[in-house]
A and B are shown apart, each in its own frame.
Chain A
Amino acid sequence: MTQASPLQHDCPALGQGRAIRLAEGARPEITFYIDGTAAVAQAGDTVLTAILMSRRAVRHAEFGPEERAGFCLMGACQDCWIWTEEGHRLRACSTPIRAGMRLCLAPPDLWPAGMKANLP
């Protein structure tokens, strides 16, 4: 169960995302889910690339009105944290997309993920 994403409105009328492929665009397609909606990525995409193919941003800022779409892409700024439906958090720029991944652009109700279940 996830909250409706506040980012859904921000796709321009064309339905375009932020990223555009300039090369290597013929890899196998895989399906994953953004806030429950199916989306298409290519094998080898990072989670960030995969989301930005159809979205303008990956999350809302916690301390301001703006949205965020990643910043450094090298794991140093931590701007691109998003969530899985199970309530885990991941860094989109350094996580490869996998078929069937179910991602949330806002914290799901379960977050932080079942700490009890993870304790020894």
Chain B
Amino acid sequence: MSTVLIVGAGPAGIRAAQMLVQAGLHPVVVDEAARAGGQVYRRPPEGFLRTPAQLYGTEAGKAVRLHRDFDEMVARGQITYLPERSVVALSPKSAADGGGGVAHVLGTDRREVAYDRLILATGATDRLAPVAGWQQAGVYSLGAAQIALKAQGVSLGRRIVLAGTGPLLTLLAYQLVCAGAHVAQVLDTSPLGTQMRGGLRMAAARPWVTARGLRLRARLGRRYKAGVRLEEITGGVGGVEAIRWRDARGHSHMTECDMVGLGWHLRADGHLPDLAGAEFTFSPVYHQWMVQADELGRAGAGLYLAGDGLAILGADGAELAGALAAIACLADLGLSHPSPVGLLRRARRMARFAEGLAQAFPWPAHAVATLSHDTVICRCEGITAGCLRQTATLSGPDANRAKSLSRVGMGRCQGRYCQLAGAEIVAAATAQDVADIGRLRAQPPVRPAPIGAWLRPAGCATDPAARLAPGQRQIPLPDRDI
């Protein structure tokens, strides 16, 4: 029986696993979280008491079904589930060698998981644009503030400003207000006219979802401002103290706060697809590099993508994409599978909605390209826009050379939160289109990994208790060292 490895147990990974199980396969699922669900349907630790309705609002039914379906597959032994582990590197084999490859999986132990087919459902992160002062304590991604609330029941500040653009900006503000947090201001960099134009396309594709977003927005009242320009996050010894911004008319404002949440919709995570050999293309719609794949998610021989890592369709679209990727995988294995036609029709509607959404809540390319010289671009290593512009005269219009010379993209986040902004600045400094700058090559390990983990042999079985060779033992790593 072929081994299919699924990376990620969010909506896409869960539906992919389910489709493969229904076809009689026994997939291996690696996920970084302790409990499956992904970011959107993240489950709090055991012992937390809020109900699904309190945690997931209108999406509670979907969350409960996904969690239940996944837990049942685990309980029935239909999948090999490796939670709290990261795939940090891939060693793909060439098609001439039969395809497939080996995944290097790191958690409290290190394993090498051989696979015949690979489904990557690794999702997305917040897409961040730098704001002067964003390196200070108390600035978080919007996703971070949502995780803190959902999975821990905490607010990360006493007086909160949320800024950026995208559906999460409104949703998170609403969730925080409902939970009793003090949200002082919600600052959307997208002008109302832009939102209207994209919003019409959104409403044409998914009217109910669009109306729900508008209702949440209305609940924010006068806290919400559209078309703002973010100027500086100021602070002192204890971190963030205020944010300075200009409204749509150009009037300057200063809002006191001890937490700022930032995010400009999502950025598809391309690290593992890159290591697996996928090709990328710059998407003018999403204004970022996306994996080239067919409509079912085929991105190479034996390689499939699903979820926000493939196309930023959100949770509903991710469920469809997970099932579609699994269908493609089954078809390529010559196994019987359901028709993808109905799923594809629904996925196309999700894509039309997503394209409207991308238009309504755009990446602030101009604001990033014109950031002041002293604005930190790389939070990891404190590298400024001015420094990056200086190196651009040496590197020329090439993202990877600019990274080598400036180190923007080389720090501990491996470019996840700076590379889009960095490319924008290098493009402007060299008078090129950002699509012509190229994208940063992914480098393994895609998560920090202690060298000691490779000094000792790996247990290569996916179920060590049952399948470790005699004399081979699992090597525990010291207390989750990174």
In this assembly, does A78 line the interface, its C-beta being within 8 Å of a C-beta of chain B?
A: yes
Q: Which residues of chain A (72-112) have a CB below 8 Å from chain B?
A: 72-79, 81, 84, 86, 88-91, 94-96
In the assembly, what is the distance between CA of A66 and CA of B323, in Å? Answer: 45
Residues of A within 8 A of B141 (CB): 71-73, 77
User: Which among A18, A19, A90 is the interface contact of B479 at CB below 8 angstroms?
Assistant: A90
In A45-87, which residues have CB < 8 Å from any B CB? 45-46, 49, 52, 56-57, 61-64, 66-79, 81, 84, 86
Q: Are the CB atoms of B376 and A64 closer together than 8 Å?
A: yes
Q: What separation, in Å, do the CA atoms of A90 and B39 have in the docked complex?
A: 21
Determine if B181 and A22 form an interchain contact, defined as CB atoms under 8 angstroms apart.
Answer: yes
Q: Is the interface of B mostly helix, strand, loop or mixed?
A: loop
Chain A interface, DSSP helix/strand/loop, else mixed: loop
A22 nearest CB neighbor, chain B only: B179
Q: Known: A63-B382, A90-B480. Contact between A24 and B44, CB under 8 A?
A: yes
Q: How many A-B residue pairs have CB under 8 A?
A: 169
Report the Cα distance A47→B50, complex, angstroms. Answer: 21
B residues in contact with A27, CB < 8 Å:
47-48
**Which B residues are in CB contact (< 8 Å) with A45?**
152
Asked if A1 CB lies within 8 Å of chain B CBs, one says no
- In this assembly, does A4 line the interface, its C-beta being within 8 Å of a C-beta of chain B? no
Binds A, one of B63-71, B96-104, B153-161, B242-250: B153-161
Q: How far is the CB of A39 from chain B (nearest CB, A)?
A: 15
A24–B49 contact, CB under 8 A?
yes
- Do the beta carbons of B258 and A18 come within 8 Å of each other? yes
Q: Is B140's CB under 8 angstroms from A70's CB? A: yes
Whether B166 sits at the interface, judged by CB under 8 Å, is no
What residue of chain A has the Cβ atom nearest to residue B181's Cβ? A22
- In the bound assembly, the distance between CA atoms of A47 and B47 in angstroms comes to 17
Mark B441-482 against chain A: 1 for CB-CB distance below 8 A, else 0: 000000110001001100000000000000000000011111
Kindly state whether residue B238 has any CB partner on chain A within 8 Å: yes
Q: Are the C-beta atoms of A10 and B237 separated by less than 8 Å?
A: yes
Among B383-428, those with CB < 8 Å from A are 383, 412-413, 416-417
By CB atoms of chain A within 10 A, which of B181, B269, B478 has the most? B478
- Besides A18-B157, A44-B47, 4 more A-B contacts (Cβ < 8 Å) are A27-B48, A63-B383, A70-B144, A84-B479
A-B contact pairs, 21 of them (CB 8 A): A24-B48, A49-B148, A56-B138, A56-B238, A57-B137, A62-B381, A64-B376, A67-B237, A68-B137, A69-B156, A72-B126, A72-B144, A73-B141, A74-B144, A75-B32, A79-B413, A86-B478, A90-B480, A91-B482, A113-B481, A119-B452
